[in-house]
Amino acid sequence: GAVVSQHPSWVICKSGTSVKIECRSLDFQATTMFWYRQFPKQSLMLMATSNEGSKATYEQGVEKDKFLINHASLTLSTLTVTSAHPEDSSFYICSARQGGETQYFGPGTRLLVL
């Protein structure tokens, strides 16, 4: 149980394009989903917290117009990196929580912006 998937797992795009990453909870309803960014050999940096049906709460320093988060249902949250630039290249990983404190991570999406 408690499986979280992410799609795509890999994406390469040209600078200036937008990329959408999906995070799905497969066997449970996620009241809260989290989006993290992880640089190589570094920690997970919380970008935003999203609750179903409401606006995401962004961490300080994270541009909400750059990283659009939509939590449309209890099993799906999307992160759209708008007008991506090479500095946005990173590993983006989501997690989902059913109601308690335990969060379950997706496998991550590696984004490379050329």
Partner 1 sequence: GENVEQHPSTLSVQEGDSAVIKCTYSDSASNYFPWYKQELGKRPQLIIDIRSNVGEKKDQRIAVTLNKTAKHFSLHITETQPEDSAVYFCAASPTGNQFYFGTGTSLTVIP
Number of residues in contact with partner 1, rule: CB under 8 A?
Answer: 24
Per DSSP, the three-state class of 87 is helix
Q: Is the dihedral of CA 81, 82, 87, 89 positive or negative?
A: positive
Listed in sequence order, the residues at least 6 apart from 66 whose beta carbon sits closer than 8 Å to its beta carbon are 81, 82, 83, 88
Closer CB to partner 1, residue 16 or residue 107?
107
97, two tokens: 């929580």
Find residue 21's DSSP bridge partners: 79
- Sketch the per residue contact string, 6 through 45, with partner 1: x for CB under 8 A, - otherwise: --------------------------x-x-x----xxxxx
Applying CB under 8 A, among 60, 65, 86, 87 the residue interacting with partner 1 is 60
Chain residues in the site for partner 1 (CB under 8 A): 4, 32, 34, 36, 41-46, 49, 51, 57, 59-60, 93, 101-108
